A = this chain, B = another copy of it.
Amino acid sequence: MTCAVLCIGTELTRGELVNTNAAWLASALTDEGFEVVEDVVIDDDRARIVATVQRLAKQVRVVVCTGGLGPTTDDLTTEAVAAAMGVPLVRDDPSLEAIRRRFEKAGRTMTASNAKQADFPEGAEILPNPVGTAPGFAITLGECLAFFMPGVPREMKRMFDDQIVPRVRSLAPRTSYQLRLRTYGLPESAVGERLAGVEAAYPGVTVGYRAHFPEIEVKVLARGASEAVARDVCERATVDVKSRLADVIYGEGEETFAGVLGRQLRTKGYTLAIAESCTGGLVGHMLTREPGASDFLLVDAVTYANSAKTRILGVEEDALRGHGAVSPEVAAAMAEGVKRVSGADIALALTGVAGPTGGSDDKPVGTVFIAVAAAGATTVKQRHFSGDRHQIQTLAAYAGLHLVRQVCLV
């Protein structure tokens, strides 16, 4: 069943506010089984509200709208909806009384402009607002059921959950099922090529992609006669997708690259120490964003200065002078040094040139040496990444965590 989300407010069309209501509502409606086909934001313009409400009512079965129910002169939603329906506004005395009590309770006097918030299009069903002054309302326009709520996220969410979900749940029986797989190591186009033919092989399945740099998320969505049917085809298609991407899938759903590695380290009972230079703490930050990192991570020594590499990690001054801070020798010495001072089982070290300055012919911006020291041996890899400073740091951090997995966990 199709639906649309409509958000009204000039502060939104001017970009003064990021529209988090739209994403929240789209996600909630998708969870309820609706196919959200359009999210539209328009400014506080009476004619545009009328035209948009009429257009959407012809195109979808349910419209969920936020904004423009406030007391000020630029709040025009209610009168525009009445115009779209061709009915007058009618004042609702119980709503007026509720607004008056709300003001009294807050020790303030209700102004005339607030009385406007008790006006509704004739025939509308009023939706109470227990956490704010503006009530919402529901109308039927042709075949379409339309709901109007305040734009304040806290009030909107409460009204959606309490008033709208019970009214729409029976309309859209859930007939879809989705699984999400997370990959690292291939660009989006190569992931897409590997999955060529999946949609044709599993009717009802759509494969979607989303780039979360440098990862590609693969979404397998199935639609069917019922949720059980959709789930069955989704799971079969996902087995196929997993076999095609076996070398690059690291997790599912909300899992993160660093979180999965952390869980693997914890399972094996390994402790980890990190020495970072060009990544400036990003590797440690990725690991410690997830709860439980203290179970395995002993230290992340972000030794930016050469003096810190020497004083804290014991990297020889000769090595720094002879090979330079960005060198396989120093990467290895950093890994071995942080392993020694921390007593960890595994140590990861990264040193490189993140840019925008600091590159040379020999070691251009993007050159990174990654070392993993474990079980008496040290592995060093040279990589070259392109992109801006933040992209190079991110690519290096992922490559470092990936090397830990390759050396110690496979």
Contact = CB atoms under 8 A, between A and B. Distances in A.
A208 B299 contact: no
Nearest to A290: B389
A304 B308 contact: no
A293 interface: yes
A190 interface: yes
B70 A188 contact: yes
A264 interface: no
Contacts of A17: 23, 210
A189 interface: yes
Chain A contact residues: helix, strand, loop or mixed: mixed
A24 B13 contact: no
Interface string A233-247: 000000000000000
A18 B15 contact: no
A73 interface: yes
Interface string A1-39: 000000000111111111110111111111000011111
Interface in A28-71: 28-30, 35-43, 45, 48, 52, 70-71
A288 interface: yes
A48 B43 contact: no
A256 B189 CA distance: 35
Given A15-B26, A18-B20, A71-B188, A113 B193 contact: yes
A281 B291 contact: no
Interface string A352-367: 0001110000000000
B289 A299 contact: no
B294 A285 contact: no
A231 interface: no
Given A38-B41, A72-B192, A280-B289, A16 B304 contact: no
A311 B283 CA distance: 21
